[in-house]
Structure 1
Amino acid sequence: MLRKLALMLAVGLVTAAVVPASADAATADAVTSPCVQRVGFQDVEGGLSAWDVTATAVPAVKQVRFGGAGLSYARASASWYYRLYPQQGLSEWRAMMLSGTGIYQPTLTYHPGSSNPDIIDRRINGGWGAFTQLATSDVAARKGRDMLMYGLRNDGTLFRYEGIMPYGSAPGFGSVKAMTVISENASYDTLLATTRGGALYTIRIPVRLPLARIVRRVRDAGWERFESLVVDSCGQNGTLLTAVDQDTDTAYLYAVGHANGSATVIRSLGKIGATFDARTYFAMTREYKNLTGE
């Protein structure tokens, strides 16, 4: 037990601020607690739900429901971001997601005293049928820039968008099976990606044009079974990673140290005690909570 605690301290998994755990608490301030990762998904009614996973020696888990029944079903979703409007007493969750051939920007808005949100399920445009993965980077330090979004097309081309406007592309990612953002700052984003062959990589992408990338292999094998990766920061340099195997409806929690190629510390915290049988999974986190995984 002492060795496990020492490792968790080493990778920064001690305490972290987490967003409130219920719709009724959605207008409250974030609180300090043991590291918790919110792994979002759509329930059978199309509403927004999540597994709150706590990074204990044996991962603890509980389900949270946010409402929003009737949202278009996502086949891929970027992170959902929480925002509080103190003067109006409102709060909201928002995201970018793929459904059918379109890209959507759903928003759930909560009013004081109500656990049933107002729902906007806005279809932005079509032509996205060939895209398989979606991820976003939401950084307050990028003055004058909108959110950056990354979309992987099924021919292996990685596209970047500023908001939804094209902002560079690069070929060569045909082997990628799952991806998510693990680090974001004013200068670059870093994607964490698995391949069909089982390798785990980081892909650093500077914000400037043209779209360049620095690819580093983290692990050679063992990650091919995972269709979804969900990350959130924990402590100064640590990352919680939930990897979902949708063939068996199971997920596993990992404590990941600061990414440094094959020297990256990855500690398995074990299987999460819940059934992961939704279509897609995504992080749910507060707005402008910068990821620091690399």
Structure 2
Amino acid sequence: MLRTAIGLGALALSLGTAVPPAVATPDAQTAATAACALGLGSLDINTRGVNSRVLTSAGAGAVVSTPNVYNTPYAVQQPTAFTAVPAGNGRTTRSGKVVWGSGYLMQSTYTVGRDGKLVGTPVFQRIGNGWGGRFLIQSQYKASAGSKPSRTMLYQQDEYGLFGRWTEVGKGLRNTGYVSGMSSMKSFTLIAATPTYDMFLANNRAGGLYTVKIPTSVPLKPIITPVRTSSWQTFEQLVSAPCGRDGTLLLGIDKDTNTGHLYTVGHAAGTKTVIKSLGKVPTTFPDWNYFRFTPAYNPLNGG
């Protein structure tokens, strides 16, 4: 699998398949779910743009559309999480990574006004090629809001299930390991980023929900721990955001029905992890790729 890095690297988020649990865990969720929100973005292939909305335990906010972001002959897919930071006068600058066409990894940056419409011209920086795969996930660790990232990593699963990691070194990306044996996993979402490891929630085709802990050391050695053993196979995508001090707000998207189910997930503790269903989200999810908008400082402490 070719990975040619020619620019700044970062870690991207890939989307997979999952199913809602038939019965939610009855335990009380410690996080204050009313204060938890997920800024959800999606690629709109009809307008070559981006749709955004906010999900909370109280429901789903209205869709804000930003057409004509990607006026390119190439298909755009596999978005990472995008940072969304204030740019003055009610404007917001969004920046993240996408894959163009057959595998061009691009840094994508654009600014929107209060109405969601483009302000100025989007900027795209080519990072490398050979990035065709099932998903991308970016992990970046910062010790505090005022510090610079101490590490940035990209994860990708290719079409055959081979899982790889790339670490930003200078202005490029260096592969720091591949591992097989995870081809049955349908979706990954990042729930923790620490100085020494990343942790994902992932579901597989058999209905299991797992944590995948990946130490930053070389070689790549994932530690896979069951969280639930059934009922999670119907989600094609998992998208998550921090919730409370050390929990996670989790959205599972079923593309067969274009529906979404929302959960709060307590701090990862294997099969003892507390999961509470917040129910079906009162909207549809017809777009192809979904991702999360994050603040500039985005501590993830779910695992």
Pick closer, same or farther for the CA change 1:254–1:144 going to 2, 3 Å: closer
Once the two structures are TM-superposed, the CA of residue 116 in structure 1 deviates from its matched residue by 2.2
Residue 241 (1) aligns with residue 250 (2) = yes
TM-score of the aligned structures, taking structure 1 as reference length: 0.81
Asked if 2 retains the 8 angstrom alpha-carbon contact of 1:61 and 1:272, the reply is no
Q: CA deviation at 1:144?
A: 6.6
Tell me the secondary structure at the aligned position of residue 77 of structure 1: coil
Give the whole-Å Cα distance in 1 for the aligned partners of 2:87 and 2:60. 31
Q: Structure 1's 68 and 232: CA in aligned 2 closer, same or farther, altered over 3 A? A: farther
Are residue 288 (structure 1) and residue 297 (structure 2) matched?
yes
1:62 is paired with a residue whose SS is coil
TM-aligned CA distance change 1:71 to 1:187, over 3 Å: farther
The 1:196–1:186 alpha-carbon spacing in structure 2 relative to 1, beyond 3 Å, is same
Unaligned segments of structure 1, at least 5 residues: 16-34
CA shift in 2, pair 1:119/1:256, >3 Å: same
What is the alpha-carbon distance in structure 2 between the residues aligned to residue 168 and residue 289 of structure 1? 25
Change (3 A) 1:154 1:91: same
How many Å apart are 1:85 and its aligned residue?
6.0
Partner in structure 1 of residue 154 of structure 2: 149
Which among 22, 31, 35 is matched to residue 11 of structure 1?
A: 31
Identity of aligned residues (%): 32
Count how many residue pairs are aligned between Structure 1 and Structure 2. 266
Question: Quick check: 1:41 aligned with 2:42?
Answer: yes
1:69 corresponds to 2:69: yes
Q: Tell me what 2:137 maps to.
A: 135
Q: Is the 8 A contact 2:240 2:248 kept in 1?
A: yes
d(CA) in 2 for partners of 1:251 and 1:231? 12
Please list the CA deviations of residues 222-264 of structure 1 after superposition, one character each: whole Å capped at 9, or x if unmatched. 1111111100002102211011111111111111111111111
What TM-score do you get using the length of structure 2 for normalisation? 0.79
- Residue pair 2:70, 2:76 contacting (<8 A) in 1 also: no
Amino acid at match of 2:28: L
* Partners of 2:115 and 2:279 in 1: CA distance: 38
Aligned partner of 2:12 in structure 1 is: none
| Amino acid aligned to 1:52 | V
CA distance in 1, matches of 2:76, 2:205: 22
Cα displacement (A) at 1:110: 5.0
CA distance in 1, matches of 2:282, 2:57: 12
In the alignment, what sits opposite 1:81?
A: 83
Following superposition, the deviation at residue 76 of structure 1 comes to 1.9
The answer (yes or no) to whether the contact 2:240–2:250 under 8 Å persists in 1 is yes
Match of 1:25 in 2: none
Q: Distance in 2 between matches of 1:225 and 1:46?
A: 27
Structure having greater relative contact order (Cα 8 Å, sep ≥ 6): 2
1:74·1:280 contact (CA, 8 Å) conserved in 2? no
**Residues 66 and 116 in structure 2, CA contact (< 8 A), matched pair in contact too:** no
Within the candidate set 211, 230, 235, 1:202 is matched to 211
CA distance in structure 2 between the partners assigned to 1:49 and 1:228 by the alignment: 16
1:97 and 2:102 matched: no
Contact 2:65 2:116 in 1 (8 A): no
Which ranges in structure 2 are unaligned for 5 or more consecutive residues?
1-24
| Aligned AA (1:63) | V
In the other structure, the counterpart of 2:16 is none
